[in-house]
Structure formats: structure tokens, C-alpha cells
Amino acid sequence: MTKFPSVLHSRDTYIQRIKPFLRTPIVKVMIGHRRVGKSYILFQLIELIRSEEKDANIIYINKEDIDFVDINSYKELHDYISKRLVSDKKNYIFIDEIQEIEDFKVAIRSLALDDNNDIYITGSNSEMFSSDLANELGGRYVEFRIYSLSYLEFLSFMNLPNDDDSLEKYVHFGGLPYLIHLPMDEAVIMEYIRSVYSTIVLRDVVERKKIRNTAFLEQLIRFLANNVGSLFSSKSISDFLKSQNVKIAPNQVSDYADSLAEAFVVHKVGRYDIVGKKFFERGEKYFFENLGIRNAVVGYKPQDRAKRLENLVCNHLLFCGYEIKVGVLTTEEVDFVCTRNGETLYVQVAVEPSSPETITREFGNLLKIKDNYTKIVVSSERSFENSYEGVEHIYIRDFLSSTLTPKML
């Protein structure tokens, strides 16, 4: 019998999103990169079910646990679970890191035919899930993206106050949940983060995509880490690398970058014409899912403050459930056009918003958008006034401490 952790730090945001689907025949899929905390969310769901049903039939498989080393195919998965099903009650089926099982989707499709089976699975590759499960299950699954700890989750896990020193730790080390078990020592933490990063790149990018040019992959990751928030196309990246005597075709750059996004190393954010309401075919920005990993790749440099700030804002918007894109307004750019449940939010990011040039650029760009949706500028300068001609200003720590409901901003 699998032993579950005796202490679970709640990630209630995700539990509340998943709860409406408990005890339904819809397959619950949780995706995110390795060590982001997917397993612990499964444990919390198991704990919740057991608190409501003392004799619940829980079937749990973790492909990173040696106890399940013999389950490698869809047939072995189906046989293992079938032997443990009970016909006259709910069966709660939890499978962690299911992508390690060949053709797992065949077994899940079969198990999902029985409404008594309540299925929860996790995985570390978005492309595999979105394509395979969509084909096999149609509309009978729902996907939840699990991110690194948000700022408030980080404070709760680490038992830290909500102050600027704690924010600095979050920006430096990122939000991997296991940090709770480590001393707050940079050398120790960065060594752990580098090991997680290596595992993600090796198992979920190199091995899964059968990448041979690993040296180029490392150069691409370093390039993206050094240029967080910059607008690029595959061709522009290829041209830059050629100037560094690295020859690689644009289509290969695109494939490698997409592989990094599929493994949740980076977020790929496309450009959107605000007036024409359409996406551009070329040009996107890349942000790191975990700032600790980004800092482990290229270091924690003072001159990168603006890049880290924009990455922070991107990550928090995604955690809060927004779909995001880079806005284009004639010749101006809006850092983030965000949509959620039919509402829109426009966000600009500025390190120091009080200079006349910054006011003209950051607030001015938002003022040119002629609609009534909420528009905000997020900065690392607390002393600046709260608003400018109707555009709100929010200090980064207050921004990270909010759920971003426009009426509350």
C-alpha cells in the first residue's frame, strides 16, 4: 500500500477548481512540469475523498515509484486497475506521470466507459495530452494546468511574511514546492533547481522528442533565458545564432522552442492585433514557467530586473486563469492582453513608472485603447501615484497578492 505524506500544504486554488468535477465520469487531467506539485494535488484530492467516504475504493499508481515498475503498457495498466475495481460503488483511480505508460490513452478510454470510475491523471507533456486525449476521449475530459507556487503559496509554504525581502526570495528562487525542505541557502537551492531543470530537459524534451543536437538545445534555452520578454520569431533567433557561428534552420528553432513549451519549461505568448482582433502568424515572446530555473540557467543579474518583473507578471496572470497574448496597437505594444470568463484586462509592466518617458509610453499605450475594460500598469515602484488619467498603477507585491478580479483592482 502506497504511503502518502503525513503533512500536506494545501493548494486550495486548484482543489476548488477541480472539486466541481469530483465523482463525475469526466477524466480529470493535471499537467505541468516535473516537481511542480502535481502528485501532492492528487494526495489532497485523495484526502478530500477519504474525509467524505471512509471506505472509498482508492486505486493509486505512480510511475515514478518502483512499486509500479511493471506497468509499462496500456494492457498492463488496464489489467492492474481492473483487478481492483468494485462493481457496486465509485472507484477513484489516480495515475501519476501517466505518460511513462505506452499508449495509456487506450486504457483510459476503456476505463472511462464505466460511470463508476472517477479518473484523475497527471503528466508532464502538454502536446501528448492535448492531441492524444482529445482524440480518444472527445469532450469527456477536463484539463487543469498546474504551475509553480504562486507568490502567496510560496509565503504559505515557506512560512514567510508578505514583505519585500520575501518577494526577493521568490523572484530569486522561484516556486518549486520542494524548497520547503531545503535551507534558505543559495548554493543548496540552486543545486536542487539545476537538478530539476536537467531532469525536465533530459526526460521531457531530449528523450521524448529524440533530440540529437543537445548542444544547440542548451544554447537556445540560454538565449531565451537571457532575452525573457523580447519579441522574436524563429527566423530572428536563427539569424542571431548564425551571428554567433551556430548554424540552424528556422524550422528547427521552432521545433525546439515548441518542445520546451510542451515540457512547460517556457510559456510561448503570441501577438494579437487589438483593433483587428486577430493573431499575427509570426513573432512571439517567451517567459520561463519558473524563475528559479531561469536564474539557474543564466544567473541572477541586477541588469535583468525588468525581465524578471515582466516574467513575474506573466506567471501570475496565468496562475489566475487568464489566457494571455502580446497586444499590438498600430506601432505600440501592450505587454499583456488578458481574457478570462468573457472579461478583458490590459497590463503594462514598468520597473520605474514615474519618469516622463515611461508615463508617456506605458500609460499612453493603454490610454489609446478605446474600450472600457480595466487597464493597469504594474511596477516595482511603490511610491508612484495610484492612477494616471484613469489607468491604475499597482505595486508588484500587491499585484502578486491579488486574484486579479478587475472590480477589485
Domains of the chain: 12-145 (3.40.50.300), 151-408 (no CATH)
Q: pLDDT tens digit string along 163-206?
A: 999 999 999 999 999 999 999 999 999 999 999 999 999 999 99
CA 176 to CA 293: how far, in whole Å? 9
The order of strands in the sheet holding 91-96 is 57-62, 91-96, 117-123, 27-31, 141-145
CA 355 to CA 360: how far, in whole Å? 9
* pLDDT score recorded for residue 129: 65
* pLDDT score recorded for residue 130: 64
- Strand ranges in 13-97 using DSSP code E only, listed in sequence order: 27-31, 57-62, 91-96
DSSP string for 73-108 = BHHHHHHHHHTT--TTS-EEEEEESGGGSBTHHHHH
* pLDDT score recorded for residue 408: 44
Pick from 320, 373, 328, 323: nearest CA to 346: 373
For strands 117-123 and 91-96, give the pairing.
parallel
> Residue range 363-377: average pLDDT?
91
> Residue range 385-408: average pLDDT?
82
Q: pLDDT tens digit string along 237-292?
A: 888 888 878 788 888 899 999 999 999 999 999 999 998 889 887 889 999 999 99
Is there a contact between 95 and 76 (Cβ–Cβ < 8 Å)? no
CA 399 to CA 409: how far, in whole Å? 9
- In total, the chain counts a number of residues equal to 409
Maximum mean pLDDT: which of 110-114, 211-215, 238-242, 244-248: 110-114
Distances (CA, A) of 361 to 16, 350, 364, 393: 39, 10, 5, 14
